Structure 1
Amino acid sequence: MNTAEINELQNQLHQKSPRIILKKALAAFDNIAISFSGAEDVVLIDMALTIRKDIKVFCLDTGRLHPETYRFLEKVRKHYQIDIDVLTPDRVLLDEFVKRKGLFSFYEDGHHECCAIRKVEPLARKLAGLDAWITGQRKDQSADTRQHIPEVELDKTFSGEDHALIKFNPLLNWSSAQVWDYIEAYQVPFNELHERGFISIGCEPCTKTVLPNQHERAGRWWWEAETKKECGLHAGNLKGKF
């Protein structure tokens, strides 16, 4: 798919509903997968299975997730009777990093190096074998880094010279309230941590509960500036701030 075709597809899908975007994505690509980590992604899985039964789903196991998140992963697998490809960090890279900097260096020098090893590298390996992927990004997840992303785009972060990777963001224009309305209406599984004040859930050392009226990303990497609250999976959102 060339630039003109991507632009045409974006024009077709601009402001369209998540179901329409998913249907178009799954029809356009056989070699496509849904990235799964949180509530939004299970909504996408729930919708996608009504369109196509053979969807591919993957998730990242950083080795630092909450126990509740691992139980959530298994709950989703069993609820939908689907395979989930669990991606893990490169052992050599991770062992060297931990030996050199310990287990909590991100509190001192930022989360990006740790995320690059535990999340970005295994994701890059996975995406190298896909033509397109589907994410649960929403504009209202960040007032600073997610306001200008489109419904469909060329993923410049993970595309290569001979590999054009397309990224779909079907829930882009949904609010958190819409996501949770869907979860309640369709009895979609969710992480039990959401019932304890966690909204945006990542690795255990880097996630905390948020106070009433705080933004949902306030609990992620709370010791860093708002403009840095991307882990590298969507580094293209940062436009030079990463």
Structure 2
Amino acid sequence: MSELKDILEGTTLEEGLRRVAAAYPGQVVFSTSFGQEDQVIADAIWRHDIPVRVFTLDTGRLFEETYELMDLTRARYKKPFEVYFPRPEDVEQYVEEHGFNGFYDSVENRKACCHIRKVLPLRRALQGARIWITGLRAEQSDNRKDTPLLEWDEQYQLYKYNPLIGWEYADVLSYLKDYQVPYNRLHDKGFVSIGCAPCTRAVLTGEHPRAGRWWWEQSQKECGLHTHS
């Protein structure tokens, strides 16, 4: 890990992506939720033809605007990305036990829904990978402020590379503008972090960027995809 960390320190986004792709050919993946940060990384991968497999998780409860962006992005770059869905039998069992919107009833129910719709599909998507690239930034939440550039993910048994961890939100916006990267139009309506439609609202002036996620509960505003060793 120290050797890989050394070759990533001080690199630009493009350089870092190229180096991990070269270090682990065919074993580097990028998970995108089509948020602003992820669009930055996807642009760098596709515009520079860096050999990284790109995938997304479709929970079945996404905003229509997110689906629109998926098609717009595909048309813009003409590059493939894989889509992973939750297993129908898992969703059916959850709805039978908790109802369609049972995630509002308790944190436990919400995390169970996230586990079915996100964590389990992610496990399938990460099979065979050695490096998982994410769009995490330190300032997104208190839970992410100490996240390193490169970390070992015990849960998935691979290295997680967070090339934007030191970026500020202004850096992201500047990149999107400079390279005319398509982004979710909900961002222009006060949505900062965009997840499932029933679980996301716009952020009010002065609120934390993650305040719009699972706004009805007092939690760490995480879904279980990202843990830190």
User: TM (normalized to structure 2)?
Assistant: 0.93
Where structure 2 has 5 or more consecutive residues not aligned to the other structure, the ranges are none
What is the alpha-carbon distance in structure 2 between the residues aligned to residue 52 and residue 75 of structure 1?
Answer: 19
Residue equivalent to 1:131: 130
Tell me which of 148, 156, 159 is aligned to 1:158: 156
Q: CA RMSD in A?
A: 1.5
SS of residue paired to 1:75: helix
Aligned length: 225
What is aligned with 1:204? 197
Deviation at 1:7, TM superposition (A): 2.5
Query: Which residues of 2 match residues 80-95 of structure 1 at below 5 A?
Result: 80-95=77-92
Report the Cα distance in structure 2 between the residues aligned to 1:21 and 1:53, rounded to whole angstroms: 11
Distance 2:19 2:206 in 1: 36
What SS does the aligned partner of 1:49 have? helix
Shift of 1:12: 4.1
Conservation of the 8 A alpha-carbon contact between 1:14 and 1:150: no
**Would the alpha carbon gap of residues 23 and 115 (structure 1) be closer, same or farther in structure 2, given more than 3 Å must change?**
same
TM-score w.r.t. length of structure 1 = 0.88
For 2:140, give the aligned amino acid. Answer: Q
**CA distance in 2: counterparts of 1:10 and 1:109, whole angstroms:** 40
8, 12, 16: which is aligned to 1:21?
16
2:127 alignment partner AA: A
The sequence identity of aligned pairs, in percent, is 43
2:30 to 29, 34, 50: 34
Looking at structure 1, the residues matched to 6 and 130 of structure 2 have their Cα atoms a distance apart, in angstroms, of 20
Deviation string, structure 1 residues 140-174 (Cα, Å, up to 9, x no partner) = 111x2101111112211111xxxxx1211000000
CA–CA distance in 2 between the matches of 1:167 and 1:93?
27
Q: 1:8: Cα distance to partner?
A: 3.1
Structure 1 Cα separation of the partners of residues 182 and 92 of structure 2: 34
Match of 1:3 in 2: none
